[in-house]
Structure 1
Amino acid sequence: MPIYQSDSQLYASFQELFGIIERHDPKASDALLKASLAITFVCSAPAAAITINARKAPVQLLYGATNLQPTIEVGLTADTLHCLLLGEMRLSKAIGADLVTLKGPVWKTMSLADLFHYAQQFYPGVLQAHGLPTTCPGLSRE
């Protein structure tokens, strides 16, 4: 059974997560702005899309379908994204196991490191606030 039962549940959790990151460190998106990066996470189970548009300040977060052409598109299940943000799965392992597909200049994903660090720090609290599991279901640990 997937962690997120609907796209609206996933969007609500991520809106809260990004809000916490922004309040904690307003400069958390600086690396993305320096890379002039737009990245879209295209999730399945449930179907959802989250786009971070950092081509110019302020960084925009877009939920759902958009006409924006991302620099990088990341395809994965919502459960895989969940496990990555919990730190229970490494991105390299997820890519090697074909759990994540990347389209675009992959080297630019390095600018996501700070954002992922913050997300891993605050994500469990967001899950708890939404009554969601704080463990990684069905995916093996590294």
Structure 2
Amino acid sequence: MPIYASDAQLYRCFETLFSQIEEHDPQAANALLKASLAIRFNCTKPAAAITIDARRAPVQVLYGPAALKPTVEVGLTADTLHCLLLGELRLRKAIGRNLLDLKGPVWKTMALADLFHHAQNLYPAVLQDNGLPVTCPELGRG
């Protein structure tokens, strides 16, 4: 059973997460701005899209379908994104296990490191506040 029951639940958690990141460290998006990166996470199970547009300040986070053409697209299950944010799955391992479908200049994703570090610190509390498990399920390709 997927961690998120619906796209609305996923979006609610990620809106909270990004708002807390901005509150705790307003400079967290600087590396993304320097890389002039627009990245879209296309999730399945449930179907959802999160686009981070850092091509110019202020950084915008869009939830759901967006007309914006991203620099990099990452296709993955919501559970895979969940495990990455918990730090229980490393990006290299996810790529090696074909849990991610990356399109675009992948090297630009290195700019996400600071943002992911902040997210990993705050994500467990967001999950707890929403009554969701703070564990990583067994992942398969999907």
**TM-score, scaled relative to structure 2:** 0.97
* Aligned position for 1:73: 73
Q: Equivalents in 1 of 2:139, 2:41: separation in Å?
A: 19
Alignment of 1:48-87 (within 5 A): 48-87=48-87
* Aligned position for 1:121: 121
Instruction: Compute the RMSD of aligned alpha carbons.
Output: 0.9
Shift of 1:138: 1.1
Alignment of 1:96-111 (within 5 A): 96-111=96-111
1:42-90 CA-to-partner distances (Å, cap 9, x unmatched) read 0000000000000000000000001000000000000000000000000
Find runs of 4+ consecutive structure 1 residues off by over 6 angstroms. none
**SS of 2:40's equivalent?**
strand
Q: Equivalents in 2 of 1:69, 1:92: separation in Å?
A: 25
Q: Equivalents in 2 of 1:87, 1:5: separation in Å?
A: 21
Alignment-mate amino acid for residue 120 of structure 2: Q
1:122-141 CA-to-partner distances (Å, cap 9, x unmatched) read 0000000000000001139x
* Aligned position for 1:35: 35
Q: Equivalents in 2 of 1:98, 1:6: separation in Å?
A: 24
* Aligned position for 1:112: 112
Shift of 1:21: 0.2
1:31-50 CA-to-partner distances (Å, cap 9, x unmatched) read 00000000000000000000
* Aligned position for 1:19: 19
**TM-score, scaled relative to structure 1:** 0.97
Q: Equivalents in 2 of 1:49, 1:74: separation in Å?
A: 10
* Aligned position for 1:91: 91
The sequence identity of aligned pairs, in percent, is 71
Q: Equivalents in 1 of 2:10, 2:47: separation in Å?
A: 10
Shift of 1:7: 0.2
